[in-house]
Amino acid sequence: MNTNSTYREVLKWASSFLEASGKEGIAAERLLMERQQWNRTDFVLHLNEEMPSDSKRQLIEDVAEHGGGRPIQHILGYEWFYDLKLKVTHDTLIPRPETEEIVDKFLQQTKQDDSLKVLDIGTGTGAIAIVAKKQRPNDDVTGTDLSPKALAVAKENAEANGVAVRFLEGDLAAPVKDEKFDVILSNPPYIGEHEKNVMDQSVLDYEPPMALFAENDGLFIYQRLAKELPRLLNPNGKIYLEIGYQQGEAVKELFQKAFPEALVQIEKDLSGLDRLISVQT
């Protein structure tokens, strides 16, 4: 690579390096744009300019780390979720775009002028709880998690994004077992241990197992929630749960038994795969 290389030339090298390492070449663009705090227009405008040596050095370091298996979010220290910047660490699950669909459904199916009690179980970075509060500031939002380290990150994210969310440490809904809620949201662990051999190694290396895996082919947490949530949900309440794409019918059956009078539906994501279960009592 020439000393006086343009952004375009350095990106071409970086993309080729990542592809040779089994990663997507487009990741080089994201790393550059995030480090430079550029939008797409900025990126296009600067492509043919000479790349400063410090920026080049940073990109080379970032690309080497990502090529070695480290997720982009851990290199940067954050991920974007619903246009909010959220800190991530080894103690939290990286927020993913498909989880935004839980929030989408909740917002679409809830009247804006209602003031609700909302519970996010297994909050992790606080992503769901923080966005819910940001979008609906009059709601009373609580997030629970078993991990004190994850809760510390969630509290930091809430403060950084200017929202007041109550975060409580404990197993699933145990910290709020004597309360009632209008809406319950959760992206629980739902990957079966048998699926480890088909997972990306970076997920296994950098994300907490307790946020990923569940017993009984990934259904264990849903089985517990189906038993615990009926006493927590107010009349006319709603539940939105993220699921694995092969778990729709099994989870729907669990919650239809738990809420025999409710409308329980499997909702698909933008790719047409089963992505969440909604319960409307």
Residue 236 annotated as lining a ligand binding site: no
Residue 189 annotated as lining a ligand binding site: yes
Residue 124 annotated as lining a ligand binding site: yes
Residue 190 annotated as lining a ligand binding site: yes
Residue 145 annotated as lining a ligand binding site: yes
Query: Buried (b) or exposed (e) across 61-94, using 16+ Cβ within 10 A?
Result: ebbeebbebebbbbbbebbebbebebbbbebbbb
pTM over 0.85: yes
Q: In 10 A of CB 31, how many CB atoms?
A: 23
* CA terminus-to-terminus distance, the chain: 62
| C-alpha–C-alpha distance, residues 170 and 252, integer Å | 26
| C-alpha–C-alpha distance, residues 77 and 85, integer Å | 10
Pseudo-torsion of CA 161, 165, 168, 171, nearest 10°? -80
Say what the pLDDT of residue 198 is.
67
91 to 88, 131, 186, 211, 218: CA distances (angstroms): 8, 20, 17, 9, 20
Query: How would you write the pLDDT of the chain (281 residues) with one tens digit per residue?
Result: 556 899 999 999 999 999 999 999 999 999 999 999 999 999 999 999 999 999 999 999 999 999 999 999 999 999 999 999 999 999 999 999 999 999 999 999 998 878 999 999 999 999 999 999 999 999 999 999 999 999 999 999 999 999 999 999 999 999 999 999 999 999 998 787 777 666 677 777 778 877 777 787 888 999 999 999 999 999 999 999 999 988 999 999 999 999 999 999 999 988 899 999 999 99
The residue behind tokens 């107010």 is 234
Residue 42 annotated as lining a ligand binding site: no
